[in-house]
């Protein structure tokens, strides 16, 4: 596969192209030679780069706000969007049996591949290169950042919104959906909202986002 366009988008040319190929190899394609280790590494490096940036930029802010800022910047939804911007779905090697995966599962694969690429760039080029590439990728997100923004997660935001509207707090009903996935259902005003995730927390967050979107839409 030709990775020239992807490397141009990343603004980084790999010395060892096999690292990029490995970063884009899902475990369903190869159980022994896949991107899981690079994803693990990339996750840690991404958090370190963003932490360092926030520490240097917001010199007077306390640890709590910096932590919420970092979580906001590297949350799963953002990493999926980054993966889509680079069209990683066109490059990821998957087994044929994954053709009918759920949207949540596909998003998780995109997120993991993006983090694996960060890990691959670090191995290939070192800290200076991966730091530059990562900050360029997140440039718009970082420029839009302000201490005045709300960095609450979807569950907290939904809870506070419902309290302000004098509604009962949401009840999250979690079930094992199989295949390593969890489903979560929340009832609101006679409607049922459902979502899935690779963990109970992610499933709850996803369904909270759906309820928030519904409330905001009907109040437009």
Under CATH, to which class is 154-218 assigned? Answer: alpha beta
Please identify which of the residues 104, 111, 112, 115 carries the catalytic annotation.
Answer: 115
pLDDT at 72: 86
pLDDT band for position 74 (50/70/90)? Answer: very high
**Domain definitions of the chain by residue range:** 4-143, 154-218
pLDDT at 77: 85
Architecture, CATH, for domain 4-143: Orthogonal Bundle (1.10)
Give the length of the chain: 220
pLDDT at 201: 83
194 catalytic residue (yes or no):
no
Q: pLDDT digits over 177-200, tens only?
A: 887 788 999 998 888 999 888 788
Say which residue, 10 or 64, is predicted with more confidence: 10
The rounded distance, in Å, linking the Cα atoms of 174 and 195 is 10
Output the average pLDDT for the chain: 91
The pLDDT of 21-42, averaged and rounded, is 96
Q: Let me know the angle formed at the C-alpha of 142 by 135 and 161, rounded to the nearest 5 degrees.
A: 140
Please identify which of the residues 39, 43, 111, 204 carries the catalytic annotation.
Answer: 43
pTM score, whole prediction: 0.76
Using left for φ > 0, alpha for ψ between -120 and 50, and beta otherwise, residue 58 falls in: beta
What would the two tokens of residue 66 be?
A: 């910096």
128 catalytic residue (yes or no):
no
Q: pLDDT digits over 126-166, tens only?
A: 999 999 999 999 999 999 888 777 677 788 888 888 888 88
Q: pLDDT digits over 78-133, tens only?
A: 999 999 999 999 999 998 777 677 777 888 899 999 999 999 999 999 999 999 99
């Amino acid at each position: 596969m030709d990775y020239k366009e992807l490397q141009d988008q990343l603004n980084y040319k790999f010395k060892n192209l096999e690292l990029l190929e490995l970063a884009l190899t899902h475990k369903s394609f190869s159980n022994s030679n896949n991107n899981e280790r690079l994803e693990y590494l990339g996750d840690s490096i991404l958090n370190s780069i963003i932490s360092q940036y926030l520490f240097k930029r917001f010199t007077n802010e306390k640890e709590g706000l910096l932590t919420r800022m970092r979580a906001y910047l590297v949350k799963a939804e953002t990493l999926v969007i980054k993966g889509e911007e680079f069209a990683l779905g066109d490059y990821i090697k998957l087994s044929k049996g994954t053709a009918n995966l759920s949207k949540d599962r596909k998003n998780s694969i995109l997120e993991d591949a993006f983090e694996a690429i960060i890990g691959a760039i670090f191995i290939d080029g070192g800290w200076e290169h991966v730091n530059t590439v990562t900050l360029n990728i997140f440039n718009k997100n970082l420029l839009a950042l302000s201490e005045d923004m709300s960095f609450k997660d979807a569950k907290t935001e939904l809870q506070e919104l419902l309290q302000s509207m004098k509604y009962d707090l949401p009840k999250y009903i979690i079930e094992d959906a199989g295949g390593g996935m969890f489903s979560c259902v929340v009832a609101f005003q006679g409607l049922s909202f459902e979502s899935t995730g690779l963990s109970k927390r992610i499933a709850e967050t996803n369904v909270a986002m759906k309820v928030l979107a519904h409330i905001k839409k009907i109040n437009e």
